[in-house]
Structure 1
Amino acid sequence: MKRIVYLIITVMITTSCTEKKTAQTADRLDLANLDTTVAPGESFYQYATGGWQQANPIPDEYARYGSFDKLREENQKQIQSLIEALGKEEHPTGSNAQKVGDLYRMAIDSVRLNEQAATPIRAQLEAIAAAKDKQDVIRLMAQISRYAGNPFFGFAVGPDDKNSSMNIVHLYQSGIGMGDRDYYLLDDDHSRSLREAYIRLMEKQFQNAGYDKLQAEQAALNVMQIETALAEAHITREMRRIPELNYHKMRVVELPTAVAPFDWELYFTEVGAPGLDSLNVSHPAPIKAAIEVIEREPVERLQDYLSWKVINSAAGYLSDAFVEANFEFYGKALSGSKELQPRWRRAIDAVNGALGEAVGQLYVEQYFPPQAKERMLTLVDNLSVALGERIAQLEWMSNETKAKAQEKLAAFTVKIGYPDKWKDYSTLEIRDDSYWQNMVRASEFEYAEMLRELGQPVDKSKWFMPPQTVNAYYNPSSNEICFPAGILQPPFFYMNGDDAINYGGIGVVIGHEMTHGFDDQGRKYDKEGNLSDWWTAGDAARFEERTRVLVDHFNGIRVLDTVRANGSFTLGENIADQGGLQVSYHAFMKTD
């Protein structure tokens, strides 16, 4: 389970990036980003960021906007210029340059997309319509999981939580289109309005796919009934944050009694894992409920559900009619954005998703100076020392647990900039048929790569983000922190900036990710990345007592009249935000 997070940090008082990284000049505090009309003790957030907020109102195409988003916009422009430069030259068929350039051109060709309309998904929908029995349904759900949202429940290959050096199969709850069970089950006005909007979305998209009005209305009701049944069995998002509740390793022969009777042999053959011996069933009850839905519902209703999985996954890569209907629900109703992002930005995101490291290799060559890696390594080393000193000074933690914590800190793997070995895309074809079919091939390429890892030792050199990403992560199963090249630029990182700038920016990000190794989830993994209880009972109890203060504090934050923050769900981020700031400040105070 990787931890990929959006950070809330104190870098807003630094000057925003408008220059390429090779020509950084803005390496000072920009006092215009402050709001000096507010006393720091009254509202430090407003004091530190008020000027920036006033100068940077949330654009209509965003549901939220901050330094991360602004920097992503700059990165998208840089990537656009790289891709457009590719288009000025001829590239050999099968080269990364050909694949990146052709996929981008297909993504921005609105005329062709609108002419094709629903044609790119026609064959997939026809295959679903041809299903005769439940075995056909099982085959289809397995096939669709290779390129679209997992129907009914999810299948993945990844590290064994209790033997992090080996990859195993994981089954987990999935299959709902609104993302979280609460949207289906809560009875407040907002949840009811979302359900109504979701049904309207499905009706519209089924019609866009060729259903008549009555067929579309019935299909939408069928899907809503099935997804609600799945949601009723899903565990809560708070429970999903407790690692030990999501680990149930068993033999395949135990599945009929431990989970539910099912044609498991057919299922595992179709997903590409025939002869599987053992696996982790992350969420047994939701998977049992999903199987009961498959057994209970008629084939015709299950066909509507599977068709929706294809339509909904493809919507962003089809005609304007599909894209705009998709945005009305997912962009406006569910997220709060007012306008659709420009086509070229959506195209950049898609190319990054399908060919991330191919784009990343071009990006690094143009925008990431080698010296930045050395400066970052120094910062990481200094923050590691500071965190070690803070652990040693904890009065409430026993020496036994402190020793284990220091061992884990010393064992951190640090990844900076870009991977040592680039992904090989030679078997991925980008053809001149349709945008959607190319995205299917890209998904199937990633799926095949995942299957090759089954039963193999974990490749701990693998990256979970391409280098152009403006983000960072901590991965507990490999005990690693990763800082892609995309975030290593202003306003987070200045190659020649003052220490105060860099410790207040990227230093807090580094500290944040390090702290994740010891938050309410990370603390349950040892230095090897195994789910293991290395805390004494007394220390664990004292940790829970102290973090309860954070939970209660955030539970008390009222966002809107009827909406409060969820302190339990956000606990890991809140711990990391607090820890990241304190560790970076501690490290900064040790500089000259």
Structure 2
Amino acid sequence: MEKTYSLTAHYDDFQEVRYVSKFNSSSTLSNGFNIQVSSKKQSKGIPRWSRRETCLLSGLVFAAGLCVILGCMLVLKYLSMEQDGQCLEDCQERKAFMRASKFISSNIDPTIPPCNDFYSFACGGWLRRHRIPEDKLIYGTIAAIGEQNEEKLQHLLLQPVRRKHRGSSERKVKEFFRSCLNMKEIDRLGIHPMLQVLEDCGGWDFPDKAKSKWDFNELLYKTQGVYSTAVFFSLTVNLDDKNSSRYVIRILK
């Protein structure tokens, strides 16, 4: 009768079985028992990728997706630039007409028959929404448009200077505008800038012709050209009343 072997009764022999099974498929224990350890064959299926291969594949997929997104963005940008180029001539004109039509339609009063009172029909909406300011005697669409343009111009002049080189026109205009808002500097200078202008123009009184080289033409040039002040007459450039295809210089008293 064959001997039976109990793993629970002989713990040391069980540990030996575990150790032997790691290296050999068959072995003999110290007590004479033969142990057969069968190993499962590796299944022949889809090979399992290593971590490095998985990371490389993920990187390639991400790079390909990024390239596709950038390509779509470039295509959309190119199409929008083409549309903007085509819109420069026609679309801008249509937009201007649309703004003008909205402005006119918002100022009329459709409740008034135009045959009875055309002025109230054409300007009723404007008169109902706008009142004459307390500091003005008259107020109309031209004054309102002028105020809007002044607000837009002030907003542009208060923006930071982008072209900071010395000869930049943007820098000169913005610095000149900000100098008019610097009340501390204006109070510090006082009347000295005005006295310099008067001195440059010849002073309060006409100097003695025998002792100085005062020239009326030079004074007229400075007041008209340098300080932009209309003295005795003013110069303007307007369309010719007789020929609208050309401009003429008008001299007004």
TM-score band by shorter chain is 0.3 to 0.5
In the superposition, the TM-score normalised over structure 1's length comes to 0.21
* Higher Rg of the two aligned structures: 2
In the superposition, the TM-score normalised over structure 2's length comes to 0.45
